[in-house]
Amino acid sequence: MIPISKPIIGEAENQAVLEVLESGMLVQGPRVAQLEEKFASICGTKYAIGVSSGTAALHIALLAHGIGPGDEVITTPFTFMASVSSILYTGARPVFIDIDEDTFNIDPALINNAITSRTKAILPVHLYGLPCDMGPIMAIAEKHGLAVIEDACQAIGADYHGQRVGSFGVGCFSLYATKNIMSGEGGIITTDDDAYARRCRLIRNHGMERRYVHECIGYNLRMSDLHAAIGLAQAARLDEFTEKRCQNAAYLNTHIIPYTPNRTLITPKVYDGYRHVWHQYTIRLPGCDRDAAARQLNEAGIGTGIFYPIPANKQRPLVELGYGEQPLPVSEQLAREVISLPVHPALNQLDLEKIVTEVNRLSC
């Protein structure tokens, strides 16, 4: 089976973990600070703050903006649940707007109508590694005095008109095992703002800057040095991994046939001014039994993923909170149609040819 994702773990990662183990400094040692420095340079920001997961990054980023009960945060339902649950953790209310059919990302034209006196932030998700249309999003945020918290968990290294994601507002990244670079579990917050960075660090570590002096009620959402060591070894290979993902995606886009007598398929569009980092290569199968198509591919040895089959507003906890009835037609349609194919850097030419052959053979 060609897996849908595959972490690339080599001697550098093994060695990095051993060094930390042998140093005895498993937590709060030098590796987290080194990874933070590396990440800030990757994103072009003044600060990067290492935390325990992408979810923790989002949670802290919202709290450090003072977002809480009574506040509203605008986001999309076509995302991993953590984009939404992190808002709920703070006591604030997610306000959903629909996505753009071609990019899978927030439709900036719909943001203005969702703004109320309670709106505190916009939380765009750079889904699958494609940046959101940050120009209009930042303009709206500035006009209304809103924070922008970028869910860049899937998009490390992506650019919008030459600027890195995570450097427009506050960036939240995941280093979960299947991400473009990973540390097993882990997350990063990026910002240029000194006071904001300090608040994030306080929330990450029990509200402490000086030992046992607590300036606020924080959490334990720290990153360990073991995780940071893996992340550092991976970060050194970010450009190489991204380049391979881009080459794989270009091959799939060129060789997958959109129309055959047996089915219609929509391949991802590529836009000028966007550097897509292809965390996922996601096609659409309109009018098809998508789950049957996934089975056909799996039986032929091609791993697939459905990201995501249910929009967040239709998930049980949100339905119980009174969401669910709001029509979000594009998100609902894409949740029925999408299927992701392997695009990760461990694919070889034979793998790519096999994926193309089987996708072109699909009938549904």
The residues that bridge with 95 in the sheet, in sequence order, are 74
The residues that bridge with 94 in the sheet, in sequence order, are 73
Q: Which is nearer to ligand PLP, 55 or 340 (CB)?
A: 55
Q: Which is nearer to ligand PLP, 107 or 351 (CB)?
A: 107
Least separation in angstroms between residue 210's CB and ligand PLP is: 29
Is the Cβ–Cβ distance between 83 and 151 less than 8 Å? Answer: yes
Least separation in angstroms between residue 263's CB and ligand PLP is: 28
The residues that bridge with 339 in the sheet, in sequence order, are 283
Decide if 120 is catalytic: no
CA 85 to chain centre: 14
User: Which residues contribute to the site for ligand PLP (CB under 6 A)?
Assistant: 53-55, 79-80, 82-83, 125, 151, 153-154, 174, 176, 187
Q: Is 119 helix (H, G, I), strand (E, B) or coil?
A: strand
Least separation in angstroms between residue 289's CB and ligand PLP is: 26
CA distance 107 to 116: 18
CA distance 306 to 90: 28
Least separation in angstroms between residue 91's CB and ligand PLP is: 19
CA distance 52 to 48: 13
Least separation in angstroms between residue 250's CB and ligand PLP is: 23
Least separation in angstroms between residue 129's CB and ligand PLP is: 10
Strands 163-164 and 159-160, how do they pair? antiparallel
Buried b (16+ CB within 10 A) or exposed e, 265-297: bebbeeeeebbbbbbbbbbbbeebebeebbebb
> CA nearest 189: which of 31, 339, 9, 43?
43
Cα–Cα distances in Å, from 116 out to 126, 146, 338, 356? 24, 11, 32, 47
> CA nearest 167: which of 115, 202, 131, 140?
131
Least separation in angstroms between residue 97's CB and ligand PLP is: 16
**Residue written as tokens 């993902």?**
245
CA distance 296 to 337: 15
Torsion of CA 229, 233, 234, 237, to 10 degrees: 160
CA distance 348 to 352: 6
Q: Which residue is nearest to ligand PLP (CB)?
A: 54
| Annotated active-site residue in 38, 120, 179, 244 | 179
Q: Which is nearer to ligand PLP, 119 or 340 (CB)?
A: 340
Q: Which is nearer to ligand PLP, 123 or 293 (CB)?
A: 123
Please identify every residue annotated as catalytic: 179
